[in-house]
């Protein structure tokens, strides 16, 4: 991608992110990286109108194209036909196309995003799009990864912000430019003066709200945490953040409860709910020593400012994926067997919220305050050490974000959780995808406690590899038939392929650690962007490649897992892999669970 557009004008980059506010903040490191890579570029954003006000400090955007589906829907309802709505959308698309984008990056993981990606013209496209004949298309190595991780969250530890960087094809930016107006900072300074917060007082901000009730830590636990913190640290001031009536009521109740036991806390707990706009919020976060937060957009805003975050993780939050980006952030997570639950879960008894001990939270805040804001090098090691001492037993765990060797920020659970089976496979996949999608070979050891279930996993992996190999051979047979004009492709070949694909899918059912490999294969196969019937041979070639890729990745999985297990156990593990039966070769696996 060149730095100048065709006409010599600055590169025009259009980012489509029809997602929630927090996700918009998570795209910003990518935007910063794009600007670093293409210094003269102009970057535009397509986002939902309701989140447009939250974009104020994100100064790298040259413009925002807001979308509000509701007016289109009401146009259909009130008019005698859909054509007015149709013309309105066409007009909006034409407006986007008038931009004449050089690069379109589509991060919207749904059908609306795919269709938009198809309708918007650009010289180069990255992300999720639609083929001309209506199938999902992935433009970029890491785009299928986005689809894969939805169903295999437990084996992913790539943060969403880093994933967006990879989709865009850029590296971690050296800085995150933000535009917080001076008057907003002054306004916050004045408010702090009025509330008796001096420049020497550490400010701990608390974001107590969340989009769903399920994702809110109970008010009394917040109150207990704050009370504990204020008792231990007499210089600390606490600011309660939020917007909306619900947040108002909650924060009022929290403050009352904190002050009920000790009225003197009243002058150190400041309820700033609905007292700030977006720019001032950023100014407050910038001034804060630590933000304690549920899974909120505020948390991601703090991450952009490199304000340390202590994130409370329970319900459906999966912190390795959507924890605050950057190094030195801490997640306290519930170890409930059912956590994280599904994104659309409607749990009636969220016991996981009670797993987070308020005193632990306040101690973790204190530990974080003890190291510099930008935790690198010795600071991060010291932080890790101090947090490790808090991880003994209990129903919650602690994870710390650190920069890995390749520049990504990963959350590593501390204590014994660092050696759990799931963390093991997360690390295995970390290495696989680095190698496969970025060509990077990582050789660091993966700590692991037990090798007991590995032989079973490796046995299933061996079967999966055999199926991939068989798929490769079958596709070659199909290609041979097509090359031979006189022979048509026998029906049984296609049926065998279909059966094999089912077997590959089912391999993940019976052995969940193989899920990412199986789904990645299927996504790659589905998104082969050849729809012209005259390009069949090309299609067959690309199909063969998907089986080859699967075979190679399974081999890599096996090797990495075996090597890591050997390192941990001090001996080589020889998994028992009996030969496959004909049924297993055809994909009819026995139902066994790891």
Alpha-carbon distance of 477 to 490, in angstroms, equals 10
CA nearest 568: which of 386, 446, 466? 446
Taking 3-state DSSP, the helix, strand and coil percentages for the chain, each rounded to the nearest 5, stand at 55, 15, 35
* Contact indicator for 594, 453 with CB cutoff of 8 Å: yes
Of 98 and 182, CB closest to other proteins: 98
The residues pairing with 44 across neighbouring beta strands, listed in sequence order, are 14, 63
**At its nearest, how many Å lie between other proteins and the CB of residue 312?**
29
**At its nearest, how many Å lie between other proteins and the CB of residue 80?**
5
Of 85 and 197, CB closest to other proteins: 85
Tokens of 208: 């107590």
Residue count (the chain): 594
Alpha-carbon distance of 565 to 560, in angstroms, equals 8
**At its nearest, how many Å lie between other proteins and the CB of residue 68?**
8
Give the 3-state secondary structure of residue 439: coil
Q: What is the largest CA-CA distance in the chain?
A: 92
Of 80 and 213, CB closest to other proteins: 80
Cα–Cα–Cα angle for 317, 320, 324, rounded to 5 degrees: 80
Tokens of 504: 């590959």
**At its nearest, how many Å lie between other proteins and the CB of residue 110?**
8
**At its nearest, how many Å lie between other proteins and the CB of residue 478?**
18
Residue 66 DSSP symbol: E
**At its nearest, how many Å lie between other proteins and the CB of residue 108?**
11
Q: Write out the E strands in 70-202.
A: 101-106, 122-130, 136-139
CA nearest 205: which of 105, 103, 276, 110? 276
Of 453 and 531, CB closest to other proteins: 531
Q: Which residues bind other proteins (CB under 8 A)?
A: 69-70, 72-74, 76-77, 79-83, 85-86, 89-90, 93, 111-112, 115-116, 118-119, 130, 132-135, 531
Of 2 and 77, CB closest to other proteins: 77
* Contact indicator for 293, 300 with CB cutoff of 8 Å: no
Of 65 and 253, CB closest to other proteins: 65
Q: What are the two backbone dihedrals, phi and then psi, of residue 24, each rounded to the nearest 5 degrees?
A: -65, -45
Of 129 and 363, CB closest to other proteins: 129
**At its nearest, how many Å lie between other proteins and the CB of residue 212?**
18
* Contact indicator for 11, 5 with CB cutoff of 8 Å: yes
* Contact indicator for 239, 268 with CB cutoff of 8 Å: no
């Amino acid at each position: 991608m060149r730095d100048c557009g065709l006409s010599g004008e600055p590169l025009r980059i259009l980012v489509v992110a029809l997602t929630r506010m927090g996700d918009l903040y998570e795209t910003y490191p990518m935007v910063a990286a794009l600007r670093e890579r293409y210094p003269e570029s102009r970057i535009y954003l397509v986002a939902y109108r309701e989140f447009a006000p939250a974009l104020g400090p994100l100064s790298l955007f040259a413009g925002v194209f807001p979308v509000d589906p509701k007016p289109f829907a009401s146009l259909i309802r009130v008019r005698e036909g859909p054509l007015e709505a149709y013309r309105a959308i066409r007009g909006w698309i034409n407006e986007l196309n008038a931009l004449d984008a050089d690069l379109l990056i589509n991060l919207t993981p749904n059908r609306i995003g795919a269709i938009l990606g198809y309708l918007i013209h650009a010289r180069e496209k990255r992300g999720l799009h639609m083929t001309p004949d209506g199938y999902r298309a992935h433009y970029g190595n890491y785009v299928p990864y986005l689809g894969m991780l939805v169903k295999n969250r437990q084996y992913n530890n790539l943060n969403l912000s880093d994933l967006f960087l990879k989709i865009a094809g850029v590296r971690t930016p050296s800085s995150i430019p933000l535009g917080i107006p001076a008057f907003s900072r002054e306004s916050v300074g004045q408010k702090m003066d009025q509330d008796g917060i001096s420049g020497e007082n550490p400010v701990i901000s608390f974001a107590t709200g969340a989009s769903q009730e399920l994702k809110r830590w109970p008010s009394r636990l917040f109150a207990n945490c704050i009370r504990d913190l204020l008792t231990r640290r007499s210089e600390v001031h606490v600011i309660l953040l939020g917007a909306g009536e619900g947040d108002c009521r909650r924060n009022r109740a929290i403050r009352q409860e904190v002050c009920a036991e000790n009225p003197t806390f009243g002058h150190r707990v400041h309820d700033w709910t609905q007292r700030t706009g977006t720019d001032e919020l950023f100014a407050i976060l910038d001034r804060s020593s630590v933000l304690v937060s549920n899974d909120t957009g505020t948390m991601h805003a703090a991450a952009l400012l490199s304000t340390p975050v202590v994130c409370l993780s329970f319900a459906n939050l999966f912190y390795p994926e959507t924890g605050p980006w950057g190094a030195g952030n801490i997640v306290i997570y519930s170890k409930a067997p059912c956590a994280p639950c599904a994104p659309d879960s409607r749990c009636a008894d969220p016991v996981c919220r009670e797993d987070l001990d308020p005193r632990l939270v306040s101690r973790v805040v204190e530990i974080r305050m003890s190291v510099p804001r930008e935790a690198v090098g010795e600071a991060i090691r010291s932080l890790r050490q101090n947090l490790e001492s808090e991880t003994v037993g209990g129903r919650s765990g602690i994870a710390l974000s650190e920069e890995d060797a390749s520049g990504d920020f990963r959350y590593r659970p501390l204590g014994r959780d660092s050696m759990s089976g799931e963390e093991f496979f997360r690390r295995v996949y970390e290495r696989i995808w680095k190698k496969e999608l970025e060509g990077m070979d990582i050789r660091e050891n993966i700590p692991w406690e037990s090798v007991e279930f590995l032989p079973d996993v490796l046995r299933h992996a061996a079967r999966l590899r055999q199926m991939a190999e068989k798929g490769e051979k079958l596709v070659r047979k199909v290609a041979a038939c097509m090359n031979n004009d006189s022979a048509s492709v026998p029906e049984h070949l296609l049926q065998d392929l279909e059966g094999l694909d089912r077997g590959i899918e089912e391999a993940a059912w019976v052995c969940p650690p193989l899920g990412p490999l199986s789904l990645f294969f299927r996504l790659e196969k589905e998104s082969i962007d050849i729809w012209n019937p005259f390009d069949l041979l090309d299609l067959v070639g690309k199909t063969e490649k998907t089986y080859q890729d699967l075979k190679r990745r399974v081999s890599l999985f096996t090797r990495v897992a075996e090597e890591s297990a050997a390192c941990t156990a001090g001996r080589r593990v020889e998994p028992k892999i009996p030969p496959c039966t004909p049924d297993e070769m055809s994909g009819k696996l026995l139902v066994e669970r790891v």
